[in-house]
Chains A and B, each alone.
Chain A
Amino acid sequence: MPVTRGFRRRRPDGPEGRLPPGQYDTGAGWPVLTAEATPRIARESWTIGVDGLVERPTTWTWDEVQQLPRSSYSGDIHCVTTWSKFDVVFTGVSVDDLLAVAGPQADAAFVMAHSSTGYTTNLPLADITGGKAWVVWEFDGKPLTAEHGGPVRLLVPHLYFWKSAKWISRLELTATDRPGFWEQNGYHDRGDPWLEQRYQGDP
């Protein structure tokens, strides 16, 4: 592709090896990008279920999920709209601990994450196991606000942030992959920021 006449880099390259291609460091900002009206969900009425191809379909209330071992993610997040945010800290529970209770069946290979708004996003099961995904309710030590997906959202920080479904309510394990909300709407099925898998048609 041609060089754009008169365009020069103004932003620094970012910390070595931390900014995926085509991304920039948003600094202190945290832009809000949502396709739907922001729901107001009380912690007391929130639940999360793990079902589909599992041995023991399980639902946790807010109080019940608090009894699980707390787990934090400290690192970077990357949005498909090209901002990245460094050194964020989210706290909640590891998805591994939810799956350990529910017991994925042998043929479970994908997960559809559902939000209480009806939003969905699909992921390979391998992308939410092995310490790579969390269900979180704290951001930088404070309760996660509704606009950022509170009371509780999914966090899959190694993929573009639309995979980290806000207002998470259900993880449905399936044998076959089917596209979620943005994936039906022109976005990439997997969304690896390091491979720049933004839209349908990307590698």
Chain B
Amino acid sequence: MTGAADDPAASFDPGGTGATSWTTGRIITKDLPAPNLVRLRMHVEDRQRHWPGQHYLIRLRAPDDYTAQRSYSLASDDSDPLVEFLVERLPDGEVSEFLADVAEVGDVLELRGPIGRWFRWDTYTPALCLVGGTGVVPAVSMIRAARHHGRSEQLRVVAVSRGPEDLPYADELARAGATIAHTRHEVGDRPPGPPAADELAPLLAGVELAYVCGSARFAGFAEDLLLEAGFSPEAIRVERFGVTG
């Protein structure tokens, strides 16, 4: 046995950080876990392996060759035979409304990915995800990858939303031991409110990388909170989504 083979880090290197090209994928399952959320599981032609935290592009093409494309994080991990997206239907969201309202099982969409080397987790560096609303999606991919590799102790997740109905994957997050904070609802003994620095600080013990994902507003809040809790700004990686429809 070589040293590299003993190294748990060496056992997971899916590649998937270089050039990508457009391919197609077929919708295998579609469900609406909440009125404004659509979950798609897709079979991808010539799929490349991916790291948790990476994203794909979905591109729609009209008969006049007009196209619209958006980036969506993967909820699935590399071991899943399908890729899974969870998309929030935004008002006037050109792509998200189509995916929620028009797309059906069996439809073929253009896909490209995986993309991103920065916002990805190697499954062994001790990490904390501080994620809000549909920003939980890359954290779900990390949870699944950690579970698959038997390294769940390397990952802590703090998931924030207004209430239970605004938190996708709530059951899966709870089963994985995530800390759940609702700003407008109690969670057990926890009163409503955003997480506080003294709530976060103990979870940051031993953590080397923090992943923040959510709206621009949430990301700003989360960055400030991590700094207030004494975390180094160089070790924060942020994925924020804005008006991307």
Q: When the two chains form their complex, are residues A2 and B61 in contact, meaning their CB atoms are under 8 A apart?
A: yes
The residues of B that contact A38 with a CB separation of less than 8 Å are 220, 223
The yes or no answer to A36 lying at the interface (CB within 8 A) is: yes
- Report the minimum CB–CB distance from A39 to chain B (whole Å): 7
Task: Encode contact with A along B97-133: 1 for CB under 8 Å, 0 otherwise.
Answer: 0100011100111101001111100000000000000
- Cα distance A199–B113 when bound, in Å? 10
Option from B68, B71, B110 in Cβ contact (under 8 Å) with A24? B68
Option from A11, A31, A35, A201 in Cβ contact (under 8 Å) with B94? A11
Stretch at the interface among B15-23, B149-157, B160-168: B15-23
Q: When the two chains form their complex, are residues B110 and A201 in contact, meaning their CB atoms are under 8 A apart?
A: no
Q: When the two chains form their complex, are residues A2 and B108 in contact, meaning their CB atoms are under 8 A apart?
A: yes
Option from A5, A118, A182 in Cβ contact (under 8 Å) with B107? A5
In A1-44, the 8 Å CB interface with B consists of 1-11, 21-22, 24, 26, 29, 31-39
Secondary structure dominating the interface of A = loop
Q: How many pairs, one residue from A and one from B, have CB atoms within 8 Å of each other in the complex? A: 116
Task: Count contacts on B: residues with CB < 8 A to the other chain.
Answer: 50
The residues of A that contact B104 with a CB separation of less than 8 Å are 5
- Report the minimum CB–CB distance from A182 to chain B (whole Å): 8
The yes or no answer to B183 lying at the interface (CB within 8 A) is: no
Q: When the two chains form their complex, are residues B69 and A34 in contact, meaning their CB atoms are under 8 A apart?
A: no
Closest to A37 in B: B223
Stretch at the interface among B31-39, B80-88, B194-202, B232-240: B232-240
The yes or no answer to A61 lying at the interface (CB within 8 A) is: no
The residues of A that contact B219 with a CB separation of less than 8 Å are 34
- Report the minimum CB–CB distance from A15 to chain B (whole Å): 16
Q: When the two chains form their complex, are residues B61 and A3 in contact, meaning their CB atoms are under 8 A apart?
A: yes
In A167-203, the 8 Å CB interface with B consists of 181-182, 184-186, 199-201
- Cα distance A200–B203 when bound, in Å? 37
The yes or no answer to B4 lying at the interface (CB within 8 A) is: no
Q: When the two chains form their complex, are residues B22 and A1 in contact, meaning their CB atoms are under 8 A apart?
A: yes
Task: Encode contact with B along A100-129: 1 for CB under 8 Å, 0 otherwise.
Answer: 000000000000000001100000000000
- Report the minimum CB–CB distance from A32 to chain B (whole Å): 5
Option from A22, A24, A32, A184 in Cβ contact (under 8 Å) with B117? A184
Given A32-B240, A186-B18, 13 more pairs with CB closer than 8 A: A1-B24, A1-B59, A2-B108, A7-B98, A9-B66, A32-B242, A35-B239, A36-B238, A37-B238, A81-B70, A83-B243, A117-B233, A186-B17
Query: Can you list 26 contacts pairing A with B, beta carbon distance less than 8 Å?
Result: A1-B22, A1-B110, A2-B24, A2-B110, A3-B62, A3-B63, A4-B98, A4-B107, A4-B108, A5-B104, A5-B108, A6-B98, A8-B62, A9-B62, A32-B240, A34-B240, A35-B118, A36-B236, A82-B70, A147-B216, A186-B17, A186-B18, A186-B115, A186-B116, A199-B19, A199-B112
